[in-house]
Structure 1
Amino acid sequence: MKISIPENLLPLVEAFAKEHIEAYAVGGLVRNALLNLPPSDIDVCSRLTPQQIVEIMPRYGIRVIEKAAEMGTVELHFGGVIVEHTTFRREAYAEGGEHRPSMVAFGDNLTDDSWRRDFSVNALYANLWTGEVSDPTGGIPDLERQIIRTTSADPDDIMRSDALRVLRLVRFACELGFDIEQNTWQAAKRNAPKLADIAAERRRQEFVKILLTDARYPALGRDELRSPMRGLRLLDELDVWAFLVPEFNLARGMEQRPDHHRYDVLEHSFRVAAAAPATEKLRLAALLHDVGKPDCKRETGVQYAHDKYGERISKRVLGDLRFPTRTITEVSQLVEGHMYDIQHMAKTNTLRVKFATWGRERTWEQILLREADVRGCGYDVDYVAHVWRALYDTMLHDGTPFSERELAITGQQLMEISGLPEGKALGELKKKLFLHCVKHPQDNNLARLTQLAKKR
């Protein structure tokens, strides 16, 4: 069996050929080629050590960046392509399931290298010269059966060695729409507690990928096997929320008002996340939007103001997983705002001001979150999602300013018209004009703003 080696790898193929070194593409590139999917990350391997790669590749115009030389890994940069090269190796892990091997021994053949890899479908090798595929661990039959199975006959050995594979198992199954081999699944469940030894950044990366599994290969479409809902339920079955979102252990089985919700808090959260558009920010906000309900109910006896609790908890959860500060801020803001005007009591001008204060991007995301929340309830409820969308469309159409910078008058012009120096009073006047134009966007022109400024 052969695959076509991507043309953009030709400089690397020629470099290995001229050095008479057999090298192989490995992992996702080979797997995806056999499944007629777009290439995944480009990984290659050979018997060359990092030091040898550093000595050889620059002669062929290939830049080498040491990434983890002690692990045998370097990056190769050429023609706008980034390839990760790893020396054939064997490895061992200390007790506890930590992601990084405690022992690495370089080797000279792909068979030994294959047994250190996680799943058989990821241990497929293609000769860079010929495209001929080697399958030391039975990955091709597993591709045909559409099943994820560990490379080792003892799946506990794979999961115990590196507990991050517990999350990778869920991700690959949901990205590809594959079933999970039963022994592999049971080993994952037994070794899931070892996720405590995995760095938060690593857990975060896999968690986000699980939330976005339906966006990984759009050509496959979305069904029950390729969806974030399946991924979230598998995580729940693995009982790993203590390492991702600890509050979900309290949300499981927590009932809600039956006239508003068909599902408990946890199931509702899963359904809202699955209904949200496939972006990291919206999926996270959707998943966490009701995360404050357990604490709110325990402390106050009701779920009112759970959005405020949720904002605080979201910051802590995302912070613990080492999300970037901007992501933490924006997701927690969406969580805090998801209950705004839930009873549709706000007047149109009040909503206009709120939307303008939020800004275009956040307003649109709050609308999408509200719509996902509606779909996740299990009932034909509305929660004024359509009202928000209609008003937002109107504001875009009528030219409503969404920031003071969008006023049709500059600070310098305002100082000349008002006679005010730069300072607090000028800032208050500009804010007053901004709020006026939010409610009356037809007045956002220099002539009218001049009149309004003179009347201050």
Structure 2
Amino acid sequence: MDRKVENIDVDIATDAHPEDILNLFNKVIPTGIKHGTVTVLGVKNKYEITTFRIDEQYYDLRHPEKVQYVSDIHQDLSRRDFTINALAFDPLTKELIDDFGGIEDIQRRIIRTVGDPQARFQEDALRMLRAIRFSSNLMFEIEEDTLRQIKKNSELLLNISKERIRDEFNRLLLSDKPSFGIELLRQSNILNIMIPSLIKCYGEQQNDFHLHDVYYHLIYSCDAAPKDIVLKIAALFHDIGKPISLAECKQKGIKENVFYNHEVYSEQIAKEFLTEYRYSKNDIQVITKLIRNHMFHYTPSWTDGAVRRFVARVGEDFIPLLFALRVADRIGNGKNFGYPKILINFWDKIQQVINENHALKITDLAINGNDIMERYELKPSKLVGNILSQLLEYVLDDHSVNTREKLFELADIVFEKLKKESSILDLTE
């Protein structure tokens, strides 16, 4: 295969037992010694070394209850998941060992299990997702019976830890064309188990601006997003709330296909998925923020204050991610590519505002919370934050007022206004 591989893992199989390897090398980690695997640390690389073995009955649809060491590489290869992974090279004899037709399957671009696919998947249910991930990464077809058994046994994935499923799913999304793998997830029923809301997008038509239904728009947007897992997931989920939004609109008597507030529903669905599959708090925050803000609509009539307010709300560091999502969204609609002129103008306007180095957040103000508390004899409270927030609004419109003298004058006005609107007791809780 003419394929570039950046990181090559060298896995070594041997008839030596783990304790022999521990005694032979200085730096050895017993990574999976229960199943005969240790990792030897070299000068630059690490090498996973596993004793020839056969697996006995699997107890959790993931791990064998017990392994039995053998002295034969052929027996060892018989326990592998797919034929393309059941290949071994003997460096002494220069022999390529291929007992199950792995070379032919590589040439034919096929993913096929070693032996009975149902037995392989019932041993280790994660293999079903791995098959689809390999298919997506390599752009191989999955052999007919193998795919049939994935669909038949798809619910076995419910017994696999969310973290392991997440890791395989991430690898799929980072392939060159994730839509290829996501389509296999849909056809095999796994997508319905993992992301049922994405299935509801299938066949959901949009307006004339989009060439595809919501489902295909999302998976093609995912293709177009840069190879960053945060952007891939944001692209896949950014419109996933449209079916719910459409139903809400129809209940209100709106006949045309419009999706008011779909970003709100999309954010909620994404957050539920990301939480269920144990993504980090930071990833959840960034992805949901991207989805929540992806519907921004800039026009040339925006003032500098409006641009500063946008940057303040979204966050300076967040802007490149949001623009990358917008471009992926445009490409995913099937009719538009790249940056339109108005988006380029908006980007330039944002950079101009940022380079001016004026206040864009509360911490950039010439006074702080301690100044407010001292001036009005307040304790730490919502009131202090409310005053600072309103002062920032003044500064975003006119940066010249960001001096201690002028901000204190404005703070007096804001403080008196807030006293009239609400009781200080409520605001200072």
TM-score, normalised to structure 2, is 0.80
- Write out aligned runs for 1:29-428 (5 A): 37-54=5-22, 56-57=23-24, 60-62=25-27, 64-94=28-58, 98-127=61-90, 132-152=95-115, 154-214=116-176, 227-256=177-206, 258-301=207-250, 303-341=259-297, 348-380=304-336, 385-405=343-363
CA contact (8 A) 2:182 2:191 kept: no
CA contact (8 A) 1:146 1:178 kept: yes
Alpha-carbon separation, structure 2, partners of 1:449 and 1:131: 77
* SS of the residue 1:150 aligns to: coil
1:449 paired with 2:380, answer no
CA contact (8 A) 1:292 1:310 kept: yes
CA contact (8 A) 1:262 1:378 kept: yes
CA spacing shift, 1:370–1:90, aligned 2, 3 Å: same
Q: How far 1:397 sits from its partner (Å)?
A: 3.5
CA spacing shift, 1:107–1:452, aligned 2, 3 Å: farther
Q: How far 1:253 sits from its partner (Å)?
A: 1.2
Alpha-carbon separation, structure 2, partners of 1:379 and 1:244: 29
Return the letter of the residue paired with 2:26. Answer: G
* SS of the residue 1:90 aligns to: strand
CA contact (8 A) 1:371 1:385 kept: no
CA spacing shift, 1:436–1:189, aligned 2, 3 Å: same
Q: How far 1:310 sits from its partner (Å)?
A: 1.5
Instruction: Tell me the C-alpha RMSD between the 2 structures.
Output: 3.5
Q: How far 1:150 sits from its partner (Å)?
A: 2.1
Alpha-carbon separation, structure 2, partners of 1:268 and 1:126: 44
Q: How far 1:125 sits from its partner (Å)?
A: 2.0
Q: Percent identity?
A: 28
- What number of residue pairs does the alignment pair up? 398
* SS of the residue 1:247 aligns to: helix
CA spacing shift, 1:43–1:421, aligned 2, 3 Å: farther
Alpha-carbon separation, structure 2, partners of 1:239 and 1:283: 21
CA contact (8 A) 1:50 1:72 kept: yes
Deviations 1:367-406 (A, max 9, x none): 2212221222223496964454233232343335554455
Q: How far 1:245 sits from its partner (Å)?
A: 0.9
CA contact (8 A) 2:139 2:180 kept: no
Mind listing any 5+ residue stretches in structure 2 that lack a counterpart? 251-257, 411-429
Alpha-carbon separation, structure 1, partners of 2:93 and 2:307: 64
CA spacing shift, 1:146–1:347, aligned 2, 3 Å: same
* SS of the residue 1:79 aligns to: coil
* SS of the residue 2:403 aligns to: helix
Alpha-carbon separation, structure 2, partners of 1:189 and 1:91: 25
Alpha-carbon separation, structure 1, partners of 2:202 and 2:83: 34
TM-score, normalised to structure 1, is 0.75
Q: How far 1:114 sits from its partner (Å)?
A: 0.8
CA spacing shift, 1:129–1:394, aligned 2, 3 Å: farther
